[in-house]
Structure 1
Amino acid sequence: MKQLITLIFILFLILLSAERSIAQQANLAGNIRAGEKGLKGATLSLKKTTYKTLTDQEGHYSFTTVAAGTYEISVTAIGYITHRQQITLAADSTMALDVEMREKSDDLNEVVVTGTMKAVRKLDSPVPVEVYTPAFFQKNPTPSLFEAVGLINGVRPQLNCNICNTGDIHINGLEGAYTLILIDGMPIISSLSTVYGLSGIPNSLVDHIEVVKGPASSLYGSEAMGGVINVITKNAVKAPLFSFDAFGTTWQEYNLDASVKFSGKNFQSLLGVNYFNYQHPTDKNGDGFTDVTLQHRISVFNKWNFVRKEKREASLAARFVNEDRWGGQMNWNKDFRGSDSIYGESIYTRRWELIGLYQLPVKEKIMLQLSYNWHHQNSYYGYNPFIATQQVGFAQMYWDKELGKKHNLLLGATYRYTWYDDNTPATSSANGLHNMPATTPLPGIFIQDEWKFSEQQTLLTGYRYDYDRYHGSIHSPRLAYKFSPNPMNTLRASFGTGFRVVNLFTEDHAALTGARQVVIAEALKPERSYNGNLNYVKKVPAGFGLLNLDVTGFYSYFTNKITGDFDQDPDKIIYANLNGHAISRGIAVNTEMTFNSPLRISAGLTWSDVYQLDNNGNGTEKTRQLHAPKWSGNYLISYTFPGEFVVDLTGVYTGPMRLPVQPRDYRPEYSPWFTLANIQLTKKFDNGLEIYGGIKNILNFIPKYALIRAFDPFDKTAADPVSNPNGYTFDTEYNYAPLQGIRGFAGVRYNLFKY
């Protein structure tokens, strides 16, 4: 009897428990929309549970018999921002929850300005513009944007000196002098300051970077022959209250980016600081010289956004950069600066920048942009001093006017004034008796009409006129056409011209890195280019997710190209206008695959053929461009594991490129194929904290050759035919990859109240 009573009691408890369980269940249903349409195939999940479902053809979903309680629901879909929301399910009820999904900012609705100088959706821009956010660069953290942009297909940071590590940025194989660097649309980074312009910009202040490949001189004037890189800084209104990103490497490199926002009644301000320190001389290749330049850099950036009537725009930004860098023989110190006993290259740099934007208080949309920068460099290359100062002032006013429903007119005027002085013959008087700083005033006007004659087709025409006191009138027309029958297919075709007035320093920084003497063979003429390109973008929805395909063919023809002859005399660089023409042509392919699973794969490939044809009197000689690989590309594989653990594999691969060699040089004239690969693991927390770490250059690729005659950097015995029968001289320009091998890194980043 006792056993029967016990059994009945246990059965009663089980039934009671089941009844309570049933009573505590709930249902959840609703619709997921994108605009006015239901979104098919969206994934919904209740975090920390096994509940998961997909939306049907109409965007409808449902969860049944879910235990009552509080959950975080996650809604994900290809091309849309993940939606997260906390919900509470009451017992014995059905909750209705509808969600409106927003397209990702880096997808069709990304707003860009670089292609047309006005804010338009990336999809609507008749000029192809590539957009990269800080999240892209954070997959392989670097201490400067100069290094970070190397992860972009077709963009290559080129170090021009193995000792001081200064360089420039090449787009599609063209030299750095053809790349215009902008900050918030202002051309304040050029000539003397290119390498420093992208160093020290706090990553915490960068909203995104826009890249236009191909001539853009019809809008931006001189130096925009090869392309434009526009760094768009954050609007203080939308920035986090506080953020920082700090990391270090096993080579004892340390980098810190931090920003803080403060506000008043009519303004929001964002203050950012970048600090980089590397003070550990390393010589792993055994040539007696530092493998990486030692640096101590601090940069402070402050941007103000003002609140005005009728939402008119006004902002002001300033930046200060101070850097001390040196490289050289391992036993060098500052006591040897400028001496001929121990070789070192020491560069002190100070730089100020000021950027202003103001919308005039009138009915029409008239914008005024102002910028100014002051750059001073105090340097020694061995015992050769180079002291230079550059000031650039820029003013631009433009009128953005809609003419009916189909035309948008842009009419503007610009004035750019460059003042440059150094201690070389380049800025001395004709008789050489006194100093004569170079001044370059460059006024210009431009007009652009964007004609949208249907929802699918847009035609852009543009023209720019500049006047240079030495070169006279310079005309730059432009034409672009876009055909987009639907959001999945877009075809763009464009033709444009570019020009560049002569600035001697920009011709090649190698003139100062080593013992080469600059020789100007003739009065240099401005360069001109004619460019055409065809771009096709295809988005392919598939069973696995979404495939994006972006293909561009480009062709540029250059006249009056300024060339530096490194081959005629190993002790000289001889500059002259090319007696012939130069060609840059190629195809670039970018692909991105986003899967229904948390996997993302992207890869890029660029084939470029950059060469010049010189009529030297003995026929036409074809010469390949230095440091311009025919094949290059990038790759990225990213996977998110449960618990917000993200693994990123990133890298670039580079084919053979022609290098500056000396007569009878034992070093190969062409570099080998190589890849620089990196891997990173990131843990993301819900409170905005991220911890990351990984390995750079996991294949440990290091160039086999770098310096020549490193034992005699001052060429004291170079003229001895017995010890130096081949007549080699010390030089530092033979470079195709960083000299840093495998190394680890770790860091932490945090955003407070990000919205």
Structure 2
Amino acid sequence: MILASTAMADVTLDAVVVTATRTERRVEDTPVRTEVISREEIEKTHARTLKDAIENIPGLQLREVHGKSGYELSLQGLSSDQVLVLIDGLPIAASTGSTVNLSQYLLSEVDHIEVIKGAASAQYGSSAMGGVINVITRRVQAGFSGSAAVDVGSYGHQNDSGKAWGAGTKHGQFRLEGGNEQWRLRVSGDTLDDAGFAVKPDGWARQGDASKRQQLGSKLSWLPQANSEVWFEASRYLEDDVQRYQQYVPPKLIPQEKTEAISRDRFVLGAKNIFENGTRVQLQLLDEQYQSLGQAYSQNFRVSQRDFNQQLNHLSAQVDLPAWYGQLWQLGVDWRKERVSQSVNGVSEFYGDKRVSKESRELFVQNDIFLGDDWEVVLGLRVQDDSDFGTHAAPKIALRGNVWESGDWKMVVRSSVGQGYRVPNLKERHFLFDHSALGYMVLGNPNLKPESSKSWQLGANIALAKQFSLDVNAYLNQVKDLIQIDESNAVKNNGIAQYTYKNIDRTETKGIETTLDWRIFRPFNMNASYTWNQSKDLNGGRELTRRPAHMARLGFDWQIAEGSEFTLRSRYQSAELISSDHYSAGWTTADIKFNQHINKNIKAYIGIDNVSNVQRDFSNQNDFGPISGRFFYLGTAFAWGNQ
């Protein structure tokens, strides 16, 4: 996976990361276990969206966002509502008021991605109980450079056109940047046009939604002196989706269609300065607007229109003090406000108000203590004041130690204990999701209590220079008042099943993750991981749904010849509980990629995703295997200047 944790192969050993302690550190020196997806891995596997980029992370589960064209994630048995997704340390708007759709972020600006698991990351506040995914964008370079790539792909006989060699997808991206020592500018764009697919292309229903995603971004940086920078970023994301399905109305199936038009406008103003005494100050201000217009049709007649609007404002300020008696102190504040509205046919889907909002103010303090050359302790505390739920404090402690070193061999241990805290989001408390046409409704519960957790992480890494690395990590997450939909107690009203959210008193997820990276010989790397997870409702002793017990990853990278590289990425997921007595079967998929560098500027590439064509049974509502079958594509990329 060329991503793995704290000390992996070549490119990750010297990577500089920021998420673990909110300061720049080499990944192998971080006191909190950090996993990195490098730009090299993104380009090698031809990832197009954030979902594609993170799918090989050990222990990460991808799930479809219910009723949407996209994916959410689960880490260590904790759901996407409990994992915080960030862009350069700032939140990104959730597509449904709670869950970030990983398919709605394209990658032309991305440098690398950092992953922290568990509540040791609670320094980032509410929604970070299960971990943090932090997307780090490229720093704009002086001079002039750029890149461009295009590719086309096919779902074979499942292409919506019915033509096996037709273009099922079209993708293109570009990046241009340059400047001098004081002023620098980047402009980038990305588009992904997917025509969708169908098991029977000549029928109405389409199992793979049609979607067109476009993202434009720019960043202007001013560097008045060597240790200062002021920047402004602006980006726009557009998406158009079309879902086609059939609903059974005796005695026949009735064609149904749902369209959704999405826009996201994101603006960031930031500044940082390093003073002569070593004090570092950084300030960032975010304004993001997310809008969605969904329309449902039955036999070409529009039956409903859903309007969703969300505004997200976030202010983050951080001060890092110079080293003092082997200690690094850090202080910071975060302020965040969300305003959300949603209506169907002009009628609000909130109880009472047409628009709801929440505001939080958070203070964090951290002390990084170095105990000689081999040991380090990080003490942290975050105090959060929420407009609806008052004040809560969440402490954490992390320990890192170099316990053994002999020649090129080195062993490092890491452990952490942290408290997590998440207030119910606006969707869980106030939304009324009326999907009566599909036979159900989801009702918000204004009486929900906040979730709280304790997370224990204990692991060790043993490495031989840049040739071998083995990482083993055990975790335990104990969650009080876990929020999820109560599927066991649906109320029937005029034939419509009504579900609501509830708190589960005591739950826990625990498991072990192992990751191996081995350069067997110079042109051949192997990387593998295995995760065992157990998730339970401690009151009833029942297994929690949608949390597979076993997941594995296997990858090979083979430098066949100078400029020619073959890559394999394989994923396994065991059976997962869907309801009280139904399981979705386990599955295994494999992707193969080939990159050929024609010269120092141009490369051609091809790939086959899901080589063995593993696909769910769409007639079985309890089958949550892969949606897409075999997918073939080819493309070319061009780059010049500083990369």
State the SS of the aligned residue for 1:237.
coil
Residue 494 in structure 1 maps to residue 412 in structure 2? no
Distance in 2 (CA, whole Å) between partners of 1:238 and 1:457 is 38
**Number of residue pairs the alignment of both structures matches:** 602
Displacement, 1:612? 1.6
User: Contact 1:177/1:506 (CA < 8 Å) preserved in 2?
Assistant: no
Match of 1:273 in 2: 189
Residue 121 in structure 1 maps to residue 12 in structure 2? no
Distance in 2 (CA, whole Å) between partners of 1:259 and 1:654 is 36
For structure 1, list consecutive stretches of 5 or more residues without a partner in the other structure.
1-77, 80-102, 332-339, 615-620, 662-667, 709-733
> Paired residue for 2:287, among 372, 377, 381?
372
State the SS of the aligned residue for 1:739.
coil
For structure 2, list consecutive stretches of 5 or more residues without a partner in the other structure.
156-167, 248-252, 298-302, 491-495
Q: Matches of residues 255-294 of structure 1 in structure 2 within 5 Å?
A: 255-263=171-179, 266-279=182-195, 281-284=197-200, 288-294=204-210
Match of 2:65 in 1: 160
Displacement, 1:308? 2.0
State the SS of the aligned residue for 2:569.
strand
In structure 2, relative to structure 1, the CA distance for the partners of 1:429 and 1:145 (3 Å cut) is closer
Distance in 1 (CA, whole Å) between partners of 2:432 and 2:549 is 22
In structure 2, relative to structure 1, the CA distance for the partners of 1:523 and 1:539 (3 Å cut) is same
| Higher alpha-carbon deviation: 355-364 or 524-533 | 355-364
1:640-670 deviation per Cα after TM superposition (whole angstroms, max 9, x unaligned): 1124211111121100111258xxxxxx811
Residue 740 in structure 1 maps to residue 621 in structure 2? no
In structure 2, relative to structure 1, the CA distance for the partners of 1:258 and 1:417 (3 Å cut) is same
Match of 1:110 in 2: 15
User: Contact 1:217/1:223 (CA < 8 Å) preserved in 2?
Assistant: no
| Higher alpha-carbon deviation: 499-508 or 559-568 | 499-508
Match of 2:124 in 1: 220
State the SS of the aligned residue for 2:77.
coil
Residue 321 in structure 1 maps to residue 243 in structure 2? no
Match of 1:467 in 2: 385
Match of 1:618 in 2: none
| Higher alpha-carbon deviation: 399-408 or 446-455 | 399-408
Displacement, 1:312? 1.3
User: Contact 1:186/1:355 (CA < 8 Å) preserved in 2?
Assistant: no
Q: Matches of residues 223-372 of structure 1 in structure 2 within 5 Å?
A: 223-237=127-141, 241-251=145-155, 252-263=168-179, 266-279=182-195, 281-284=197-200, 288-329=204-245, 342-360=255-273, 364-372=279-287
RMSD of the TM alignment (CA)? 2.9
Instruction: Name the aligned partner's letter for residue 439 of structure 1.
Output: S
Distance in 2 (CA, whole Å) between partners of 1:510 and 1:421 is 12
In structure 2, relative to structure 1, the CA distance for the partners of 1:177 and 1:273 (3 Å cut) is same
Match of 1:414 in 2: 334
Give me the TM-score of the superposition, normalised by structure 1.
Answer: 0.75
Residue 701 in structure 1 maps to residue 605 in structure 2? no
Distance in 1 (CA, whole Å) between partners of 2:627 and 2:606 is 21
Displacement, 1:386? 2.7
Equivalent pairs: percent with the same residue?
21
1:392-439 deviation per Cα after TM superposition (whole angstroms, max 9, x unaligned): 101011110024241000011111111111127996776x4xx43111
> Paired residue for 2:40, among 114, 129, 135?
135
Distance in 1 (CA, whole Å) between partners of 2:52 and 2:15 is 24
> Paired residue for 2:512, among 575, 587, 594?
587
Distance in 2 (CA, whole Å) between partners of 1:193 and 1:246 is 33
Distance in 1 (CA, whole Å) between partners of 2:45 and 2:51 is 13
In structure 2, relative to structure 1, the CA distance for the partners of 1:508 and 1:149 (3 Å cut) is farther
In structure 2, relative to structure 1, the CA distance for the partners of 1:187 and 1:323 (3 Å cut) is same
User: Contact 2:114/2:133 (CA < 8 Å) preserved in 1?
Assistant: yes
User: Contact 2:455/2:475 (CA < 8 Å) preserved in 1?
Assistant: yes
> Paired residue for 2:443, among 519, 522, 539?
519
In structure 2, relative to structure 1, the CA distance for the partners of 1:167 and 1:645 (3 Å cut) is closer
User: Contact 1:209/1:232 (CA < 8 Å) preserved in 2?
Assistant: yes
Distance in 1 (CA, whole Å) between partners of 2:432 and 2:401 is 44
State the SS of the aligned residue for 2:206.
coil
In structure 2, relative to structure 1, the CA distance for the partners of 1:351 and 1:522 (3 Å cut) is closer
Residue 530 in structure 1 maps to residue 454 in structure 2? yes
Distance in 1 (CA, whole Å) between partners of 2:357 and 2:602 is 49
Instruction: Name the aligned partner's letter for residue 404 of structure 1.
Output: W
Instruction: Name the aligned partner's letter for residue 203 of structure 1.
Output: L
Distance in 1 (CA, whole Å) between partners of 2:245 and 2:12 is 49
Match of 2:558 in 1: 639
1:34-56 deviation per Cα after TM superposition (whole angstroms, max 9, x unaligned): xxxxxxxxxxxxxxxxxxxxxxx
Q: With a CA cutoff of 8 Å and minimum separation of 6, indicate the structure with the bigger relative contact order.
A: 2
1:378-402 deviation per Cα after TM superposition (whole angstroms, max 9, x unaligned): 1135645432111110101111002
Q: Matches of residues 371-450 of structure 1 in structure 2 within 5 Å?
A: 371-380=286-295, 383-423=303-343, 432=352, 435-450=353-368
Match of 1:183 in 2: 87
Larger strand proportion, structure 1 or 2?
A: 2
User: Contact 1:160/1:735 (CA < 8 Å) preserved in 2?
Assistant: no
Give me the TM-score of the superposition, normalised by structure 2.
Answer: 0.87
1:2-25 deviation per Cα after TM superposition (whole angstroms, max 9, x unaligned): xxxxxxxxxxxxxxxxxxxxxxxx
